[in-house]
Amino acid sequence: MKILLYNPDNGVTRNFMPHLWMFLLQALTPTGHEVLLVDGNAQPMDEVGIAQFVRDNNIGLVGIGAMTRMVAKAYRMADAVRTTGVPVVMGGPHVTEMADEALGRDGGPRHADAVALGEADATWPRIVEDAARGQLKEVYAPVDAFGQESKPSLKEYPVIPWQSIDLKQFNLVPKAATGLLQKIGEGWGTFRIVPVESGRGCPYGCEFCTVTGFFGDSIRFRTNESVVNELLLLKARARTEKGQIAVFFIDDNFAINIKRTKSLLRDIIAAKAQVHWVAQISANLLRDEELVDLIAASGGKWIFIGMESIDPANLKDMNKGFNKPGEYATVLERLAARNVYAITSFIFGMDNDTVGAAERTLEQVRTWPPGLPIFGLLTPLPATPLYKRLEKAGRLTRPKHWQEFIPFAMAHTPLKMTIEEAHAEVKHGWEQAYSPEALAHAVESLSDRPLGYRVNIFLSRLCFRGIYFPMMGKMAWIRVIAQNRRTIFKLVREGFKKGAWRGAPARILSSPVPQVETGEAIVQGAEG
């Protein structure tokens, strides 16, 4: 049987990275079936397109996964597939919580023939075999022989065959430039950001987050060996195609167990498996100097920190009191000293936010080393404690906000400002932090570093903005490039100067890379 795994885009913005679930399910598919992958972010497709694709390729089963904000598109695409007579199975965080909606058991239209609840590592092979026999069930739940919910341990993690997966659609280098760029240094003919997980689960239960409910509060890790081998495979692939691969460790908090993270990073260094990587780590864990040394030495370049707010009252409300705004600056400087920078994520529209929250946040951001600040609105995702609290209080203005995805629009009324005021805060945050002046300033603040760091911060800012703002079209890109032409010319001019690409090296490790520690694992914090 031929299977299509499809991940929708949200129709407005574009993710730079493919989704892990597609590669994982492909690797877990029983032999004898062929799996094709289409990510709508990389290969845009509409309803007519997917139905045609299914017919042309003689597909026998379509699997669709979606976050809440992509689910309306996912349902439309599922409907289009079902008109061809091919069954659709849906999975992922949204349909796990809203299975009746997907199956049309809530009074609405039916979109899926079957849903996979929760983590589908164990249920996927059963789904495929049932579909091949024409005996697809409606609901697949991950349960053990006694009917109890069971979660994969991750100790037996499948090998994702990175050496042979077709990754054409995920190349971020424009086709026209590939030939030329292959010849630069070790080669830049392709550039891909690839998701890798080293563990799952987060015990923190922040009020707005789905992770604790979905993955559970028991944290599970892959073996160091399996992660290192995966990095080695990716590195080898990049070398053979004269390109670059960077890894996004998608764990909700990559350093949730510091001892284990240090041991993994040491193993990566020892095996020479370093690639450039990004990971989510909470600020409290970055107090550990040795951890930060190992991050830099193992290839860590960007750390995503869910700061959420600079107001401790908001953090307390969200059950995220372990974030201490007073230490944000020190943490970011500690990273920057090793040429590691941060993606700092903020949420507006929290109950203690008042008008001016964005500007107050920006005042702090401007005093920090340059990074990638991102701004969002507090969103009640289905089944989260936040959703339940707001629903009970009658504060939801669009209880089924996912049925119509509107970027940057609240679905409830904050306590100390209006919805429109909250929208204005987010707009202000993005406009100011990504204005041509702010970009020029970020580049300038790294004038003592090699040119590569300045180019990196500039390109990262442009691309990262694209995940949240409509930049899918050529015109949108041209506009952004025109607005930032001064900085671009300056960087290009400098590129031709002698020695421009050399300069201050990354900070030397404060101590030699220490040996792997043993002992009790301590869970210390989480991110998301």
Residues engaged in binding ligand SF4 (CB under 6 A): 202, 204-206, 209, 211-212, 252, 306, 526-528
Cβ at position 528, least distance to ligand SF4 in Å: 2
String of contacts with ligand B12 for each residue 139-178, x by CB under 6 A:
----------------------------------------
Q: Specify whether the CB–CB gap between 348 and 319 falls below 8 A.
A: no
SS3 200: strand
Interaction of residue 101 with ligand B12, rule CB under 6 A:
no
State the binding partner of 250 from ligand SF4, ligand B12, none, CB within 5 to 8 A by kind: ligand B12
Cβ at position 468, least distance to ligand B12 in Å: 6
First to last CA, the chain: 37
SS3 194: strand
Closer by beta carbon to ligand B12, 13 or else 445: 13
Q: Cα(44)–Cα(73) distance, rounded to whole angstroms?
A: 12
Closer by beta carbon to ligand B12, 345 or else 524: 345
Interaction of residue 121 with ligand B12, rule CB under 6 A:
yes
String of contacts with ligand B12 for each residue 10-39, x by CB under 6 A:
x--x-x-xxxxx--x---------------
Interaction of residue 124 with ligand B12, rule CB under 6 A:
yes
* Piece of the chain touching ligand B12 by CB under 6 A; list 88-96, 103-111, 226-234, 289-297: 88-96
Interaction of residue 68 with ligand B12, rule CB under 6 A:
yes
Cβ at position 208, least distance to ligand SF4 in Å: 7
Strand partners, 372: 343
Closest CA to 221 of 151, 283, 281: 151
Across the beta sheet with 139-140, what order do the strands follow?
34-39, 2-7, 61-65, 88-91, 114-116, 139-140
Q: Cα(224)–Cα(287) distance, rounded to whole angstroms?
A: 23
Closer by beta carbon to ligand SF4, 206 or else 278: 206
Interaction of residue 349 with ligand B12, rule CB under 6 A:
no
Closest CA to 86 of 50, 138, 124: 50
Closer by beta carbon to ligand SF4, 39 or else 527: 527
The pair phi, psi for residue 40, each rounded to 5°, is -60, -20
Tokens of 392: 């009970």
Burial 467-492 (b: 16+ CB within 10 A, else e): ebbebeeeeeeeebeeebeebbeebe
- Give residue number: closest CB to ligand SF4: 528
Interaction of residue 89 with ligand B12, rule CB under 6 A:
yes
Task: Provide the residue type at 442 as one letter.
Answer: A
Q: What's the chain's Rg over C-alpha atoms? A: 23
**Site of tokens 């005996």:** 135
Tokens of 53: 């694709």
The pair phi, psi for residue 412, each rounded to 5°, is -150, 165
Taken in order 220, 225, 231, 234, the sign of the CA dihedral is negative
Give the H/E segment covering residue 178: helix 175-181
Interaction of residue 197 with ligand B12, rule CB under 6 A:
yes
**Site of tokens 């040429």:** 339
Closer by beta carbon to ligand SF4, 75 or else 208: 208
Cβ at position 384, least distance to ligand SF4 in Å: 9
Q: Which of 113, 119, 230, 317 binds ligand B12 (CB under 6 A)?
A: 119
State the binding partner of 68 from ligand SF4, ligand B12, none, CB within 5 to 8 A by kind: ligand B12
Closest CA to 114 of 162, 64, 72, 161: 64
- Interacting residues with ligand B12 between 211 and 240 (CB under 6 A): 211
Closer by beta carbon to ligand SF4, 253 or else 432: 253
The pair phi, psi for residue 374, each rounded to 5°, is -130, 150
Cβ at position 206, least distance to ligand SF4 in Å: 3
Across the beta sheet with 372-377, what order do the strands follow?
191-196, 244-249, 276-280, 300-308, 341-348, 372-377
Q: Which of 11, 59, 69, 525 binds ligand B12 (CB under 6 A)?
A: 69
Cβ at position 198, least distance to ligand SF4 in Å: 15
Closer by beta carbon to ligand SF4, 182 or else 319: 319
Give the binding-site size for ligand B12 (rule: CB under 6 A).
Answer: 37
Closer by beta carbon to ligand B12, 161 or else 514: 161
Cβ at position 326, least distance to ligand B12 in Å: 24
Q: Cα(152)–Cα(142) distance, rounded to whole angstroms?
A: 9
Task: Provide the residue type at 318 as one letter.
Answer: M
Closer by beta carbon to ligand B12, 4 or else 443: 4
Closer by beta carbon to ligand SF4, 313 or else 482: 313
Give the H/E segment covering residue 192: strand 191-196
Closer by beta carbon to ligand SF4, 68 or else 339: 68
Cβ at position 114, least distance to ligand B12 in Å: 8
Cβ at position 211, least distance to ligand SF4 in Å: 4
Find the length of the chain: 528
Largest CA distance in the chain: 69
State the binding partner of 120 from ligand B12, ligand SF4, none, CB within 5 to 8 A by kind: ligand B12
Binding site for ligand B12 (CB under 6 A): 10, 13, 15, 17-21, 24, 63-65, 67-69, 89-94, 116, 119-121, 124, 195, 197, 209-211, 250, 252, 376, 381, 467, 528
